[in-house]
Amino acid sequence: MEVEESAGNDLSTIAIQDKIVSTETVNESLKETESKTPDGEKVQPQLAGSSSETASDTAAAATETFVVPSANSMEVEGPAENVASSVSIQDEIAEQQQLETEAVKNINKNSLSLLCQYSGSSESESEDTDGSKTVDNKKHSSPSSSSSDESEDEGADTGLSSSYRKCTDAILVSDAETMDTNAVSSDDDDEDLQNQAPIRTKGEILVDELPPIEELTITVPETECKPIGLIDSIVAQIVLVQSIPGVELLNLDTVLFLDRGKRPLGKIFDVIGQVNCPIYCVLFNTNQEVVSKNITVGMQVYCAPRTEHTSFIILSELMRYKGSDASWMNDNEPPPHMVEYSDDEAEKIAKRNRKKKSNANGERDGENILSPNVHYDAEYIEVDYQYQTTTVVASGPGGYTVKPETTGLNIRTQRNVPRLGLMLVGWGGNNGSTLTAALEANKRGLEWRTRQGVQKANWYGSITQSSTVLLGTDAAGQDVYIPMNKLVPMVNPDDIVVDGWDISSLNIGDAMKRAQVLEVDLQDQVYKQLAQLRPRASIYDADFIAANQAERADNTISGTRYEQYQQIVEDIRDFKQKSGVEKVVILWTANTERFAEVKEGVNTTMADLERSLKQNHSEISPSTIFAMAAISENCIYINGSPQNTFVPGVIEMAEHHGAFIAGDDFKSGQTKLKSVLVDFLVSAGIKPVSIVSYNHLGNNDGKNLSAPQQFRSKEISKSNVVDDMVASNRILYGADEHPDHCVVIKYVPYVGDSKRAMDEYTSQIMLGGHNTLVIHNTCEDSLLATPLILDLAILGELCSRIQVRRNESSAEFVPFRSVLSILSYLCKAPLVPQGTPVVNSLFRQRTAIENILRACVGLPPLSHMSLEHRFDLPVGEVTASPVQPCAKKARVNGTATLTNGTGEKLNGVHNGDAHVSEKAVVSH
């Protein structure tokens, strides 16, 4: 109600416009006044005693403004004829018409919109000559034209009076925010309102406003066609296709075909209905276009799944999207912080996840590191870095010349973290299924009960997610540690998209149950999501893995090795397209293969390897085929098993394409302990002379390793882990001297994934004494290996965003070398670039990772000197003596080699000029 207050008195001017009357009252009135002609034809009802002119005049009178005084006065101003006389028939008519108008206004606007769009036309209730069901979406016609239509079609709905229809038109205006709420009385105004569009939300687009639909001329061979459903109905220019239950879900813009591929139906415009049996909507420009193409209800519809015209909906990805049950502004989804939850636990999880993502976006890139040598912009973290090395030259028997060297570098790290896809070869194995379950559990913040109490999802065992690095010291001289993933931007595990291959067709949920790794309560909570994930067919070659794996091989790629390679390439492309990932890591976590024989002319060069692949040479292993496919698609490839996947031809191929590779074999349990213990003993001056390692386990890895050739691959990777530590101390060992080293692995099915490892270390100590360590280690194999897979993927992706160059404007940035030796910490048999040292010492491997990450944000390497604690020195910035003029370049060594922090030469780049900074910062 509109109320105007007068400034000079206590009177209020009230525009009588809003009077509530129920919809049922209006309908009752309309029914009572409805009549029929002698011919039985329905006519629109009119109120008694009214004509069109009278109704118009009375409606105008009914909307005149009455001035109602305050409680002190009861005088009413109005039309003189109305005040002077009693209520006339015209007044009753006006009041009744006003009641109709106001009641219709209160009817739900959406319902009226649909009513006017889908009723009142003979076309909308009839069937086309081709038998297809149609609904005309045209605007409703004026009362005069609709009356003509109704007289021609006895089945048309004539239950609305003309006044009802006029009032309906008055409500349906195009913009709800600017709709005039005053009653409209004149016939001219009514006619204008009839031409206005239905109300819509902000940003809503009507079908008629869409760009024209392009004419398709695509055809496909009948052999490429797969039936997906039938045409169920045709609504105006929209053809609705009811899909066959259980068929793969098709995505928008997939082309559908008729007549077994001979002609296109059109592209999928929308998908509605249930997930297990959706309805696909195909849009045309007009209904006449549908008729002209002889498209009728009941026709069989096809897709071409193996062509570029088809894309699928990944249900697991769709399920990750969480919408709300209630609409927000303008019928849009509310932002995360505005979503309401009926379940307290769900709200708690959502808040925790938002906090995680906030940290990932805000705190993880170390932007609070204050240094004049670090610059942050929208794309990169750029650092001016002084890299220090020491060159040693022998100068006679037992003598050395030592030259410290400083190389000025620019290091830049791309800040934008891409959406990462992880494709696992052996996805359905223990490691693959456990990783997928762990990702789901951590993303949802799951909890479950065991005999020890309530357990919570975590990433224990992952250095990126559960370890810290020393940042520096605070004002009190205390060490400050932060999570490793806060130093530089890293992928959030919750955002990783998983896919992969397996020779077993079991879905990942059932594969998880088969593995018997996780607690049953946790399995039950993630099973529904994992059961919808099914591995792609993989390569099975009985010559490379144990014969006992044949019973699982029901999901394999047939054909020659080259055809298998082509299929893997196609799978990678398909995954990228459907998942929308920006970068892909492919990781082998399948069965250990036998060693491939390295032969001249077969696999020693890239050209030989590619030729041998096309010739279907028997020494091209499945893991090598996967590596070649990954490299050709510029994916990072990591070998998590001990076989020699990276034959020389593969390494050359990776370097040629600029792709990254890493391996070999996850270092998770017994071998990791060995690399620590031997390092400890040798660095303590104790001489290990005998190392005996025994294992027994009952998972499928143990079953495969029970074959001699596959065991030999594992034995080699386990035995070489002490070589560099032995070579580091020539006081203890001669040039060709090594400790005795024996490795035994046995398959015992009963113990399952819980591997038993027993080690005996015998060492010589001073004056002929001996020291013996005997260790029993129970390793839950997959729960130790799974966090390593996560770290390998995250660190591998990070390496692809780091580049360095000499501190000169003319120098170009170069990436890491193709062989990512920085990942050695996570591998039993580290793969390194040719001619570079192999490091197995766990401490040195971990320190290399930390220091490179520190360098990316301008922090010096960890020295653990702690001079401020050992001397009476103030904590803070200490400047070096100005030996060199600060503004000039000093030639330190004309043959200094630029390395990446692990002793690896970077693509043969040499440094002639080293820049000495103004200040050598000792402590930040």
- Between CA 107 and CA 97 the distance in angstroms is 16
Residue 674 makes CB contacts below 8 A (sequence gap 6+) with 691, 693, 718, 721, 722, 759
The residues annotated as belonging to the active site are: 665, 714, 755, 828
The alpha-helical segments, DSSP class H, found in 172-314 are 187-194, 287-292
| Cβ atoms of residues 461 and 455 within 8 Å | no
CA 140 to chain centre: 46
pTM above 0.75, yes or no: no
- pLDDT given at position 358: 53
Residue 25 makes CB contacts below 8 A (sequence gap 6+) with 99, 103
- Between CA 456 and CA 449 the distance in angstroms is 9
| Cβ atoms of residues 517 and 434 within 8 Å | yes
What 3-state DSSP class applies to 527? helix
Domains and CATH numbers, the chain: 2-126+142-194 (no CATH), 207-313 (2.40.10.230), 420-600+630-647 (3.40.50.720), 670-789 (3.30.360.10)
User: What's the token pair of residue 73?
Assistant: 């006065």
What 3-state DSSP class applies to 761? strand
**81: region left, alpha or beta (phi > 0 left; psi from -120 to 50 alpha):** alpha
- Between CA 621 and CA 643 the distance in angstroms is 10
Q: Among positive and negative, which fits the CA dihedral 196, 198, 204, 210?
A: negative
- pLDDT given at position 255: 95
Comparing C-alpha atoms, which of 396, 370, 374 is closest to residue 384? 374
Which helix (H) or strand (E) element contains residue 606? helix 606-614
Identify the segments of the chain with pLDDT beneath 70: 1-204, 315-368, 700-719, 809, 874-924
- Between CA 306 and CA 571 the distance in angstroms is 11
- pLDDT given at position 663: 87
